[in-house]
Amino acid sequence: MKFSEFNFHADLAKGVKIAGFKEPSPIQKEAIPIIASGSDMVGQAHTGTGKTAAFGLPVMDKLARGEITRALVITPTRELATQVADELYHLGRFAGIRTLTVYGGVGYGRQIALIHKGVQIVVATPGRLKDLYKKGKIDVLNPEVVILDEADEMLDMGFLDDIKEIFEYIPQNRQTLLFSATMPEPIKELANDILYQPKFLSVVGDEETTNNIIEQRYYMIHENQRDEALVRLLETEETDKCIVFCRMKREVDRIVEHLQALGFNAAGLHGDLDQIEREKIIKTYRRGTTKIMVATDVAARGLDVKDVTHVFNFHIPFDPQSYVHRIGRTGRAGRRGQAITLVSTAEFRELQRIQKEVGAHMQLATLKSEEQIDEKGKEYIAEYIRDLAINKNASAMLEYLSQMDQRLLLEKLISYMLFAEEHHISKQIGFDEDAVEAMMQEFINEKKATRNHTRRKKRD
């Protein structure tokens, strides 16, 4: 199927063509006709599958044809709001469709003024939108179509009550669209409350979605080997941009400092950063100036970067849905991705639970020790030497060694570094397949013993 078969308004079709859209993704192919028909819809799809165009194009087609005058998109974060607004602007600019982002942290004035002037698409975060509605500042915003994007993210961030309150201000005679990567019970209940006889659409399980385009691996390690394992993986994996997920802010800061000291191009993202710092860090990451983003779950929400090749879970996440959200940061827009999780023996049962609940197929892998330093390792050491700061005692040491042949001195110093690196790469990190197999069998035996004990108690 081609995009031309949707018969969009000519000015909108021009924007689609210039954007390079040729064949619709599965979510676009299924959702666009439903939305064009005017039905309410619940769409289950992961980020990176083309959701913005899936809802944006049919809505903008209605705007371009004069069938509606206003549309509202609600997103969980400022970053996602900006991304959605940018994509809608570029697709709809030849049709004269104006978009506006509404979020906190900036003044009300311009946002209110543009809404009153009649901007056609408002992309807003829940907090600022609720605030404007409650204060009676945007009574003129009566959208005929409302899109709730990344609904499960809003649930995780505690916005569900805000969403319910916002819908009290919006006219009932509207078309409502809800998109979510997962469908926990509170999201199903929300859909029942705010949608009218919706059509249900899911592309989860399709070849474009997370489980099939993301290779998922885990490494069993000793607790005190996490830093070593992460560094070894960063040295050996063919990464472009990657995200390292941590549980706590202080862990983010510590890992960033550790990686930077080793010469890695890393930056941290967590809740203690102000908005200006956050935007600066995300901008350098998108541009590729920063290659490694170390982040907490909350800080990474709304971070949509298409060319993330790897996601590393420094610790296994607290719950299965967090695992889904984390690994969904890679494998976007049809590209393949790698999701790698470090698991200690104490976390083994939690790993089993996550695999069972989210249906993830996580392959056991081992960090094999190398025989010798390869070309990539030599390049890394050479780069490290070039960038190394000069110690204040270096000149004094040279005086002690002034009688030694300079080339011999250099060879000895480089040998010292190579010996250290060879010791590092030859060291076994974590458990091999046999050890993990024995651990898994012990886990199965424990479960059997527990079940048998429960049955005996019931009989008694």
Q: What is the pLDDT of residue 460?
A: 64
Residue 290 confidence (pLDDT) above 70? yes
Domain boundaries, the chain: 3-202, 210-369+428-450, 375-426
Residue 430 confidence (pLDDT) above 90? no
Q: How far is CA 268 from the centre of its chain?
A: 14
3-state class of 393 per DSSP? coil
| Burial grade of 460 (CB within 10 A; 0-12, 13-18, 19 or more) | exposed
Q: Which of 75-84, 172-181, 329-338, 353-362 has the highest mean pLDDT?
A: 172-181
- pLDDT band at residue 206, thresholds of 50, 70 and 90? very low
Under 8 Å between Cβ of 323 and 152: no
Of all residues in the chain, what percent carry a pLDDT higher than 90? 40
Q: What is the pLDDT of residue 402?
A: 84
- pLDDT band at residue 185, thresholds of 50, 70 and 90? confident
Distance, in Å, from the CA atom of 266 to the CA atom of 198, rounded to the nearest integer, reads: 44
Residue 377 confidence (pLDDT) above 80? no
Average pLDDT over residues 126-146: 92
- pLDDT band at residue 370, thresholds of 50, 70 and 90? low
Q: Dig out the tokens for 2 from the structure.
A: 């081609």
Query: Residue 45's closest CA among 306, 328, 297, 305?
Result: 328
Average pLDDT over residues 152-163: 86
Q: What is the pLDDT of residues 397-416, one digit of tens each?
A: 888 888 888 888 888 888 87
Distance, in Å, from the CA atom of 164 to the CA atom of 291, rounded to the nearest integer, reads: 39
Average pLDDT over residues 365-371: 67
Return phi, psi of residue 143, to 5°.
-70, 140
Q: What is the pLDDT of residue 207?
A: 38
Distance, in Å, from the CA atom of 376 to the CA atom of 386, rounded to the nearest integer, reads: 15
Average pLDDT over residues 74-103: 91
Lowest mean pLDDT among 12-16, 32-36, 165-169, 320-324: 320-324
Lowest mean pLDDT among 191-195, 305-309, 311-315: 305-309
Q: Which alpha helices (DSSP H) does 195-267 contain, by range? A: 210-213, 226-236, 249-261
> From 3.40.50.300, 3.20.20.80, 3.40.190.10, 2.130.10.10, which CATH number describes the 210-369+428-450 domain?
3.40.50.300
Distance, in Å, from the CA atom of 324 to the CA atom of 337, rounded to the nearest integer, reads: 13
Average pLDDT over residues 296-305: 75
Average pLDDT over residues 381-395: 81
Highest CATH level, class, for 3-202: alpha beta
Residue 169 confidence (pLDDT) above 90? yes
Under 8 Å between Cβ of 348 and 223: no
Distance, in Å, from the CA atom of 279 to the CA atom of 282, rounded to the nearest integer, reads: 5
Average pLDDT over residues 303-319: 86
Residue 151 confidence (pLDDT) above 70? yes
Lowest mean pLDDT among 71-75, 151-155, 247-251, 299-303: 299-303
Distance, in Å, from the CA atom of 32 to the CA atom of 37, rounded to the nearest integer, reads: 9
- pLDDT band at residue 211, thresholds of 50, 70 and 90? very low
Distance, in Å, from the CA atom of 329 to the CA atom of 321, rounded to the nearest integer, reads: 13
Q: What is the pLDDT of residue 453?
A: 67
Q: Indicate the average pLDDT of the chain.
A: 85
